[in-house]
Amino acid sequence: MPIQGSGTFAVEATLGSLVPRDGKALVLANGAYGKRAAETLARIGRSHELYVTAEDTQPDPAEVDRMLAADASISHVLLVHCETTSGILNPLEPIARAVAARGRSLILDAMSTFGALSIPTSALGLGAVIASANKCLEGVPGVGFVIARTRDLEAATGNAHSLSLDLADQWSYMERTGQWRFTPPTHVMAALDTAIDLHTAEGGTPARGARYAANRRAVVDGLRALGIEPLIPDALQSPIIVTFRCPDDPRFGFQPFYDRLKAEGFIIYPGKMTAAETFRIGCLGTLTPGIMRDVVAAVARVLDDLGVARRRAA
Ligand SMILES: Cc1ncc(COP(=O)(O)O)c(C=O)c1O
């Protein structure tokens, strides 16, 4: 089901439509997007519980099982597949199994993985998968979408807290009329159509995921050789975005680093972590390992320029 707006709109539409007014959601949060889902539930008057882990720590499936066993009123669980705050990949399969075994419904925020990492929606019995056009699908921003069972969408009639973010209404209207309820994001959908053709031509999700993984390897290996370490352990690191620790040198400042890299033609992300001084480099988009090596070379020049000590190539 497509829904106009950015990814956050799709998350709010899903939570407001699929979690019944007397339902309760368990939110697994290890970063900003899990916390935003919890804030959304609070704003729309849905009961929720938070299971918070540190930004570099995955939620434990055994703890999820324990929390579900202890509270029969929890109807839904929300998991962020890749928490883009840090780039950590959360353990989808064991958590999906724990949630299914307790007969609850798992809502997966796959905003930053859909199109690059395989999501076995039916095999894992997922209740809903939420994504948007503009991350791994490489479309333009302006539409999100939700994959859910038709019976759940039908059962959601009357649940929504909002007219425009009512997934059940959007679904039944489209089914009945073949039209969008409100002005459709025509150009965004045309761009998405082309983006999906390009995704298919590249070899679909496995090929796109492999390219992003090669991008990650190139940037992590290159920056490590300069003495800049990723914050998330390699085994938990998604191929989508990498958080690096800022060099521990008083001459390093994020803003001059950012400005100089921008002048070199590369835009990075500020860190979003609360616990450490970091910056982030995205591996998604029309990037290649060659471009990532150019990024590493630019970082080396900028560090020299700022007078920041760095490990020199042997
Ligand atoms: C995992 C995740 N969830 C939700 C969002 C929110 O999407 P948007 O910024 O498009 O509203 C993002 C955006 O970065 C995200 O990475």
Query: What are the pLDDT digits (tens) for 42-99?
Result: 999 999 999 999 999 999 999 999 999 999 999 999 999 999 999 999 999 999 999 9
User: What tokens does 293 get?
Assistant: 């090596």
What is the 7 CA–ligand 1 centroid distance (Å)?
A: 5
Integer Cα distance of 195 and 204 in angstroms:
11
Q: Are residues 34 and 63 part of one domain? A: yes
Q: Is residue 313 part of a domain?
A: no
User: Ligand 1 pocket, 112 CB below 6 A?
Assistant: yes
- Residue 103 scores a pLDDT above 70: yes
What ligand 1 atom has the least distance to the C-alpha of 80? 1
Integer Cα distance of 300 and 190 in angstroms:
40
Q: Is residue 37 part of a domain?
A: yes
Q: Are residues 293 and 173 part of one domain? A: no
**Final residue in a domain of this structure, among 173, 197, 221:** 197
Structure confidence at residue 155 (pLDDT)? 95
**Number of folded domains in the chain?**
2
What is the 313 CA–ligand 1 centroid distance (Å)?
A: 37
Structure confidence at residue 313 (pLDDT)? 55
Q: Are residues 284 and 234 part of one domain? A: yes
Domain that holds residue 101: 2-197
Residue 311 binned pLDDT confidence (cut-offs 50, 70, 90): confident
By most ligand atoms within 8 Å of CB, the mutation choice from 132, 165, 188 for ligand 1 is: 132
Sign of the CA dihedral with 151 first, then 153, 157, and 159 last: positive
Q: Is residue 10 part of a domain?
A: yes
| More confidently predicted of 114 and 314 | 114
Integer Cα distance of 276 and 265 in angstroms:
26
CATH of the domain at 260: 3.90.1150.10
User: Ligand 1 pocket, 33 CB below 6 A?
Assistant: yes
Of the candidates 215, 226, 211, 229, which has an alpha carbon nearest to the alpha carbon of residue 279? 229
Q: Is residue 76 part of a domain?
A: yes
